[in-house]
Structure 1
């Protein structure tokens, strides 16, 4: 008889890591840790642009990927950008004074 209740019965509970995935991650971590010197020397042999590209690609496995966010405003709380054109030291002083007076 089919389960039409929408409830989950059996299997892994939510949040529990797959056993195979955990084993692969541990093996990969062991591989990296035991080859750090070789990886570092290989990176040093690359051109600067290639080195940065490889480091950024490898960082995806260490750092969490940030989700893009979007700013939306309503007419009540409209976002008004502040544009500052500074060309001389006097402009800087004037802008600081105007800012202090305003806020």
Structure 2
């Protein structure tokens, strides 16, 4: 299962998902509660504090975080997706 999340409202998430043609769920976290729990909230003095850090998490069947992938590095989206998919396949 793939799930995305951001600090956007439900309405903004729906518009974005429709525009992009996403078929997976997007979670709305405008109060940043989930973002704080996953350490994705930037410091208030960060020039782009309105945006979360970009991480992907692989969640194990027992609900624990099995792996964290940092998309804040110089990776492209395709490289990031390839890394995550390769890791998932290696665990299967």
With normalisation by structure 2, the TM-score equals 0.22
**Structure number having the greater helix percentage:** 1
Higher normalized contact order (CA 8 Å, seq sep 6+, divided by chain length): 2
With normalisation by structure 1, the TM-score equals 0.20
Largest Rg, 1 or 2: 1
**Structure number having the greater strand percentage:** 2
